């Protein structure tokens, strides 16, 4: 791999799930091991990028040479991203789309409930869309986990979130994605695409890292 691929470009990557408190002992969250985002951060750092990794709660060691910012909620993830995103932003996190409208300050006791409690939710900010539609946005790359009509849904997100590239994976296939070691994806951009066959997340991250750098420098030459 080319050491100077990124020529010191500043890359911010979000990874892992967010965690939204219901009360002091409960939360809602998403499935996400953080492996893909961590592998991308490692690949970018190895190839000459200055990498900030903004991570929700995961059980992974931070990659060498990467600045880690640990967060829990979507709002914290957005704040950290707004502070650090410079040249390139890669939104790899499984951000919770909603959070409880109110966080109970004490544990909700079943003895005090009549029947089951109901949970009222409000929308979380879309971290990627907020950054990508800001005044002078970095080069923005998104991920899309889909179960059907991969191409159509990915291209709709590319457009809606004003992204340069979107990495789409089919999560209906149980052998790839989420907590799996393997992943197969197709990357879409405005007028092209590239498919990557099933491989481990480290080698996929290296291939994606290469493609991201090519597209970034193509725009910024
Ligand atoms: O809309 P959807 O969740 O499928 O979009 C996926 C992409 O948007 C991912 O790159 C994800 O990290 C990002 N996203 C985000 N904030 C949200 C929801 C999604 O940054 N609230």
DSSP of 113-151, one letter per residue?
A: -SS-----EEEPP-HHHHHHTSSS--EEEEEEEESS-HH
127 marked as part of a ligand binding site: yes
pLDDT at 1 over 60: no
For this complex, say whether ipTM is above 0.90.
yes
**Six token digits for residue 207:** 């291939």
Please state which CATH class domain 10-103+121-219 belongs to: alpha beta
Query: Which pLDDT band holds residue 147 (cuts at 50, 70, 90)?
Result: confident
For the chain, which residues make up each domain, given as ranges? 10-103+121-219
- The alpha carbon of 183 and the centre of ligand 1 are apart by a number of angstroms equal to 18
Q: Which ligand 1 atom is the nearest neighbour of the CA of 96?
A: 21
Contact (Cβ atoms closer than 8 angstroms) between residue 140 and residue 156: no
- Structure confidence by residue, pLDDT tens digits, 200-220: 999 999 999 999 999 999 998
Looking at residue 111, what DSSP letter applies? G
**How far is it, in rounded angstroms, from Cα 133 to Cα 125?**
13
Query: How high is the pLDDT of residue 177?
Result: 58
DSSP-derived letter for residue 24 is T
Higher pLDDT, 147 or 56: 56
Residue 146 CA to ligand 1 center (angstroms) comes to 12
How many CB atoms are closer than 10 A to CB 12? Answer: 26
Q: Which atom of ligand 1 is nearest to the CA of 124?
A: 21
Is residue 167 classed as helix, strand or coil in its secondary structure?
Answer: strand
Please, which residues bridge with residue 140 across strands? 89
């Amino acid at each position: 791999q080319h050491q100077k691929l990124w020529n010191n470009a500043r890359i911010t990557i979000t990874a892992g799930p967010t965690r939204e408190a219901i009360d002091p002992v409960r939360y809602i969250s998403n499935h996400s091991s953080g492996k893909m985002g961590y592998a991308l951060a490692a690949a970018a750092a190895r190839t000459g990028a200055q990498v900030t990794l903004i991570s929700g709660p995961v059980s992974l060691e931070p990659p060498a040479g990467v600045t880690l910012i640990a967060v829990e909620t979507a709002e914290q993830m957005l704040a950290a991203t707004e502070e650090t995103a410079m040249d390139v932003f890669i939104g790899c996190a499984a951000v919770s789309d909603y959070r409880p409208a109110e966080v109970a300050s004490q544990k909700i006791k079943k003895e005090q409930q009549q029947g089951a409690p109901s949970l009222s939710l409000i929308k979380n900010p879309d971290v990627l869309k907020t950054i990508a539609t800001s005044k002078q946005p970095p080069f923005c790359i998104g991920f899309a986990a889909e179960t059907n009509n991969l191409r159509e849904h990915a291209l709709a997100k590319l457009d809606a979130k004003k992204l340069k590239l979107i990495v789409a994976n089919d999560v209906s296939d149980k052998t790839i994605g989420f907590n799996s070691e393997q992943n197969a994806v197709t990357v879409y951009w405005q007028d092209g695409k590239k498919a990557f066959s099933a491989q481990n997340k480290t080698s996929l991250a290296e291939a994606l890292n290469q493609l991201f750098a090519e597209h970034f420098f193509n725009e910024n030459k």
